Chain A
Amino acid sequence: MTSQSARRIWRHVRVPLVLFHVAAIVLMSTPDPGPGLNRSAWKNPTVQDELSAWAERLSGLGLEVTPEALEAWAWDRAVELNRARDRVVSPLRPYHEYAGVRQPWNMFVAPHRNPAVLGVDVLVEDEWRPLYRARSDEHDYRRAFFDHDRIRAMLFRYGWSSFRMSYHDFARWLAKQIAVDVPEATKARVFFSRYRTLSPEEVKAGEETKASRDQAVVFDLAPFRPDPSAEAAE
Chain B
Amino acid sequence: MIRTNRQLFDEVKLGHNWAWKLLVARYEKLVMSVAMRCGLSIADAEDCAQLSWMALYKNLDSIRNPDRLGGWLARTTRRNAMRMVKRLVVRGEYIEGDGAADSKLLLSDHEAERLEQQVHFEYAINQLDDRCKKIIRELFYSPKGDSYREISNRLGISENSVGPIRNRCLEKLRRILKECGFL
A binds B: no
A→B interface (CB under 8 Å): none
